[in-house]
Structure 1
Amino acid sequence: MPRPDPSACDADALIDAVIDREGRYVNHPADRGGPTCWGITEAVARAEGYAGAMRDLPRSEAASIYRRLYWLRPGFDKVALRAPKIAAELFDTGVNMGTGTAVAFLQRALNALNRTARDYPDIAVDRDIGPRTLSALDGFLKARGKGGETVLLRAMEALQGERYIALAERRPSQEAFLYGWLANRIGDG
């Protein structure tokens, strides 16, 4: 299923698209996350209070977990007000790699694109959407205009793609997932 148009950055549409893409119950032997349902790992479901069988995790519970843990808690809703495409990418990457990793990609890209701090100061790569990260994003968008959002998105996706390949190189069992990650998580999917 193609990813929704991120220009509107409708959190419900993003969550529905991830759930549709992840599918129902899966327990792939090479998946280090263990059993998942709707893309939610058993460890996350348990930490969020779900006690039932993973095969029976309600879609609505998965959607609620995505909203709390992968949209609101990391502050991607705040990014969406400034740069909807970036927020959509943060959400999708955060679901697959962890929200801290997604934020680190944004922070690294912002630092690399600030023209040696002429457009805005470097920020710490602390994996947290805070006032400095939001200020750097504002500075980037002001300096580069709306077209800059696409370039920033490409930089983040390049970092994501490199991480997938490095993971498959380090752990050959993860090659089972590499094609799907690159096909469904990078670019338009």
Structure 2
Amino acid sequence: MNRFDKIFSFMLAVEGGYTNDKNDKGGETTWGVTKDEARRNGYNGSMKNLTQDFAKRILEKDYYLKNRLNEVKNDKVALSICDWSFNSGKWATKKAQVTLNRYFGYNLVVDGIFGSKTIKALNEVEEQGKSEEFLRDYHSIQRKFYHSIVEYNPTQKVFLTGWLNRVDRKEKYLKEMV
């Protein structure tokens, strides 16, 4: 299985099929793709009928390739950032930059854009054999981020356990990933 297929396989496991939770700011979603996102990508059918193949194309184009994760040497780092990006948008890339700055001594602009400096930093961390440390710190920041959402907007507390479980499932998947 190639890298992106591993990422998509994980996404399917954590996102599931169709949902329309009134408390979810994303509204109608299928395979993690929001209705607005599907429409921006040319899908006009019922969200209940959105195919996995269509969702896979969106994930690959808008999250994996757009964030240049295909240039990141470590598969686990690429999966982790792609997953959080799919779940929380630009916060994932900003927090990756924060992790690199805070824990690894970089001085990247925290803009959520993975330019050549951010990609180089992620790959240097891999070359130094510190990708596992990066993931530990990044996942810690991700958990804190979810708690801060609930602090800021208590109506989102209903999702907190699921968000935290997602990070736990991701860590388990990464440990088993070959």
Normalising to structure 2: TM-score of the pair?
0.89
Identify unmatched segments of 5+ residues in structure 1: 1-7, 116-120
Rounded to whole Å, the distance in 2 between the matches of 1:158 and 1:68 is: 27
- Deviation, 1:21, is 2.1
Superposed, which structure 2 residues align to 1:34-49 within 5 Å? 34-49=27-42
Q: CA RMSD in A?
A: 1.7
Q: Answer yes or no: is the 8 Å Cα contact 1:42–1:54 preserved in 2.
A: yes
If you compute each CA radius of gyration, which structure gives the higher value, 1 or 2? 1
The aligned amino acid for 1:180 is G
The aligned amino acid for 1:157 is H
Out of 16, 22, 27, which is 1:29 matched to? 22
> How many residue pairs end up in the alignment?
171
The aligned amino acid for 1:178 is L
The 1:57–1:141 alpha-carbon spacing in structure 2 relative to 1, beyond 3 Å, is closer
- Deviation, 1:61, is 0.7
* Secondary structure, counterpart of 1:113 in structure 2: helix
Superposed, which structure 2 residues align to 1:104-123 within 5 Å? 104-115=94-105, 121-123=106-108
* Secondary structure, counterpart of 1:188 in structure 2: helix
Rounded to whole Å, the distance in 1 between the matches of 2:3 and 2:88 is: 21
Out of 75, 86, 93, which is 1:95 matched to? 86
Out of 131, 137, 141, which is 1:159 matched to? 141
Rounded to whole Å, the distance in 1 between the matches of 2:112 and 2:99 is: 12
Structure 1 residues 7-35: Cα deviation after superposition (integer angstroms, max 9, x where no partner) = x8711121122123211110001101100
Superposed, which structure 2 residues align to 1:129-168 within 5 Å? 129-142=114-127, 145-146=128-129, 148-168=130-150
Normalising to structure 1: TM-score of the pair?
0.84
Q: Answer yes or no: is the 8 Å Cα contact 1:104–1:125 preserved in 2.
A: yes
Identify unmatched segments of 5+ residues in structure 2: 174-178
Question: Which contiguous aligned blocks of 4+ residues in structure 1 show a shift greater than 4 angstroms?
Answer: none
Aligned to 2:172: 188
Rounded to whole Å, the distance in 1 between the matches of 2:104 and 2:59 is: 31
Equivalent pairs: percent with the same residue? 30
